[in-house]
Amino acid sequence: MNRIVIIGGGPAGYEAALVAAQHSADVTVVDADGIGGACVLYDCVPSKTFIASTGIRSDLRRASALGIEFDPKNVGVSVPQVHDRVKSLAQAQSSDIRARLQREGVRLLSGEGKLVDTAHGLATHKVQASLFNGEELILDAEVVLIATGSAPRILPTAQPDGERILTWRHLYDLEELPEHLIVVGSGVTGVEFVSAYTELGVKVTVVTSRDRVLPSEDADAAMVLEESLAERGVSLIKHARADAVERTDDGVTVKIHDGRTVTGSHALMTVGSVPNTGTLGLENVGIEVNSGGYIQVDRVSRTTVPGIYAAGDCTGLLPLASVAAMQGRIAMYHALGEGVNPIKLKTVASAIFTRPEIATVGVSQNAIDEGQVPARSVMLPLNTNPRAKMMGLRRGFVKIFCRPATGVVIGGVIVAPDASELILPIAMAVQNHLSVADLASTFSVYPSLSGSINEAARQLMRHDDLD
C-alpha cells in the first residue's frame, strides 16, 4: 500500500486525498486551519456567501424600474445575521468535507507539517506533524503532496489590526458596516468586495496602483465594471500606490506614493497573496522556491524532488480553487501510476463575482491583440437580447474567439448577471474543440441570455462564409 502524506487540507489537498483513498492508498492529511482550507473557511466560500446576501439588496433597488413599488430606504441590513450565515456556511462545508474524507478512510491530523528528511535524494520522505494537541509525530511517506495554499500579502507599513485596517479575512468579524471603506488594490479580490459593499449601500473608494480595475483581465469587461461602479458612486483613484495606512482617531488615512492622502473609516487591503512555503522545511529535501516564494511544478504537479508533489496556490500556477483541485488530483493519479492528462490552463473557466459578473475561458483578448494567437472575434452587446430587455439589463456582452480558418472556438468572455453560469457552453466548446457552427446550431431557449451565445457564434459563421 502506498503511504501518502498531504500537507494542507484545502481543495488541492482534500481532492488529492479523495483520489488517493479511492485507489486504496494509506493517506494522512496534516492541516493547520481546518479541512477545506483557506478556500472554504476564509476566502472563496465566505466571499461568495457574503455576495449572495449583498446581491439581494441590489435586486430590490432595481425593482421600481420594473414597476414594483417599494421604498429602498426601508430595506435594512442585519450585519450580524449576514456574517453569522457566512461563517456557519463555511464551517458546515468544512465539516461535510471532513466527514467525507473520514468515510473514505483518510487519517486527518490537526497541526503543522514540515519536511524533515535527514539528507537530500532519499527514496522515501519524513514529515514532522506538530499537532495542536501537543503531540509530535514523524510520518514516513513514499509520496508527499505539498498543498499549503497562500495568505494575504501584508504591507509592513499597513499592518492589519482587525478593527480598522483589514484583510478580507477580518471582514466577517465586523459588528457594523464600514461608513466609508477604502479598498487598496483593484485585482479580483478587491473588485469583488468593492462591488459587494456598494450593493450594501456603503461608500467605497478604491486606491489602485494601476490605470484601471482588473488590470489582468479583459479590458472591455473591466470598462463595463468601472462604469457600473462609478454609477453606484465608487471613487476610483488610479496610479496610486499606497505606501502606508495609518489609524486616526475615527478611522484611517491611506498615504499614496505621490503624497496624496485618502481618509475613510476602514481600509481593506487586497494587494495580493503570498504562498505558505516559508516554514515547510523545503531546504531539508532540496526544493528551491522562485523569487515569489512559489514551488515550481511541472504539468503533472511534480517538484524537482522525486516523490514530492505540490499543488494549488503554493505553486502560483493559477490561483483558483478549481485549478488547485485539478492539480491535486493529477498529482495523485501520477504518483499512483494511473494514466493522467497534464493540466491545460487554456481550458480553465473562471468568474469574477461582481455586478455584473465577468466570466472568461480560453485565450484572452490580450493574447490575440499581441499577435500570440491568430483569431477572429465578435463582441455582442447584451442590450440587443430580448431577455435582457425584459429584465431591464443595460450592460454586458458576449465575446467569442475562434480560429480564423476552422472556426474552432478558443475562448470567450461574458459580462452579465450570472455570467459564471452562462460561460459553460463556451467552456464546453473550448474543451471539446467545437466550432462556431456547432455553437450556432445548438438550440437555446427563447428568450434567454444564452441566445446571445448562439447569435455571436452565428455572426462568426457569417464571417466564415465570406472568407
For ligand NAD, which residue of 35, 181, 183, 188 counts as binding (CB under 6 A)? 188
Q: Is 305 annotated as a binding residue?
A: no
User: Does 411 carry a binding-site annotation?
Assistant: no
CB of 7 to ligand FAD, least distance (A): 5
Instruction: Identify the three-state secondary structure at position 305.
Output: coil
Q: Please tell me the distance from the alpha carbon of residue 52 to that of residue 353, in angstroms, as a whole number.
A: 10
Instruction: Tell which one of 201, 272, 281, 447 touches ligand NAD (CB under 6 A).
Output: 272
The annotation status of 253 as a binding-site residue, yes or no, is no
Q: Are 111 and 132 in contact (CB under 8 A)?
A: yes
Q: Which is nearer to ligand NAD, 21 or 158 (CB)?
A: 158
- Is 192 assigned a ligand-binding role in the annotation? yes
Asked if 353 is part of the footprint of ligand NAD (rule: CB under 6 A), the reply reads: yes
Q: Least separation, in Å, of the C-beta of 297 and ligand FAD?
A: 12
Residues 72, 105, 215, 374: which binds ligand NAD (CB under 6 A)? 215
Question: DSSP of 114-177, one letter per residue?
Answer: EE--SSTT-SSEEEEEEETTS-EEEEEESEEEE---EEE---TTS---SSSEE-TTTGGG-SS-
What does the binding site for ligand FAD look like in residue numbers (CB under 6 A)? 7-13, 30-33, 37-39, 43-44, 47-48, 112-113, 147-150, 168, 189, 276, 280, 312-313, 319-322, 324
User: Is residue 184 part of the contact set for ligand NAD (CB under 6 A)?
Assistant: yes
313 assigned ligand-binding residue = yes
Positive or negative CA dihedral for 49, 50, 56, 59? negative
Which of 196, 256 has the CB closer to ligand FAD?
Answer: 196
Nearer CB in complex with ligand NAD: 305/416: 416
Cell numbers placing 320: 483558483
Q: How far apart are CA 295 and CA 317, in angstroms?
A: 9
Does the protein bind ligand NAD through residue 271 (CB under 6 A)?
Answer: yes
**DSSP secondary structure code for residue 418 in this structure:** T
Is 149 annotated as ligand-binding? Answer: yes
Any known ligand binding at 37?
Answer: no
The 10 Å Cβ neighbour count of residue 201 is 17
The smaller minimum CB distance to ligand FAD, of residues 32 and 213, is found at 32
Cα separation, 51 vs 45, in Å, equals 10
186 binds, among ligand NAD, ligand FAD, none (CB under 5 to 8 A by kind): ligand NAD
Contact 40, 117 (CB under 8 A): no
Residue in 62, 120, 239, 241 binding ligand NAD, rule: CB under 6 A: 241
Q: What is the dihedral of CA 185, 94, 83, 75, to 10 degrees?
A: 100
Pairing relation of β-strands 376-381 and 397-402?
antiparallel
| Residue 188 among known ligand-binding residues | yes
Q: Please give the single-letter amino acid code of residue 441.
A: S
Residues that bind ligand NAD (CB under 6 A): 155, 184-190, 192, 207-210, 215, 241-242, 270-273, 319-320, 350-353
Per the annotation, binding residues for NAD(+) are 185-192, 272
Per the annotation, binding residues for FAD are 48, 113, 148-150, 313
